[in-house]
Amino acid sequence: MSQRTFSIIKPDAVRKGDTAAILAKISDAGFKLLAIKKIVLTKQQAEGFYYVHAERGFFGELTDFMSSGVIYPMVLEKDNAIADFRKLMGATNPAQAEEGTIRKQFASSIGENAIHGSDAEDTTAFEIGYFFAGYELK
């Protein structure tokens, strides 16, 4: 059964010029791109998106980073999309990520790890709704 997931190509990957290569890797893994946009988040928008981490020590650094440049939020679809995309992304720490994963290939650190992906159906629903209106999805 087809499932949707949400992802963001983060500012570090965009700055390094890795967007097209990351999108190709996602497509090659069988994901259908349903929606994508190019935006720059304000600090307040980044704080709203990452509100679940507000009490954590890295919150300020994370929201500064995510509002530091262009990002590409996107909606993807595939059978078992959430779990399959988490596997394709690789571990948050690129040093621990498996070979062939996006983070192993494109990330430089835990903080600048190239890509975000939803971790469950409820977070997917929130994250898609945060960036995309219903009419933008087909």
Known catalytic residues are 116
List all residues 6 or more positions away from 80 whose beta carbon is below 8 Å from its beta carbon: 3
Two structure tokens written together for 101:
């994963």
Structure-derived torsion over alpha carbons of residues 56, 129, 116, 7, reported in degrees to the nearest 10: 180
Two structure tokens written together for 111:
């903080």
Q: CA nearest 62: which of 26, 110, 14, 128?
A: 110
Q: What 3-state DSSP class applies to 76?
A: strand
Residue 77 pairs in a beta bridge with: 4, 32
Q: How far apart are CA 40 and CA 124, in angstroms?
A: 20
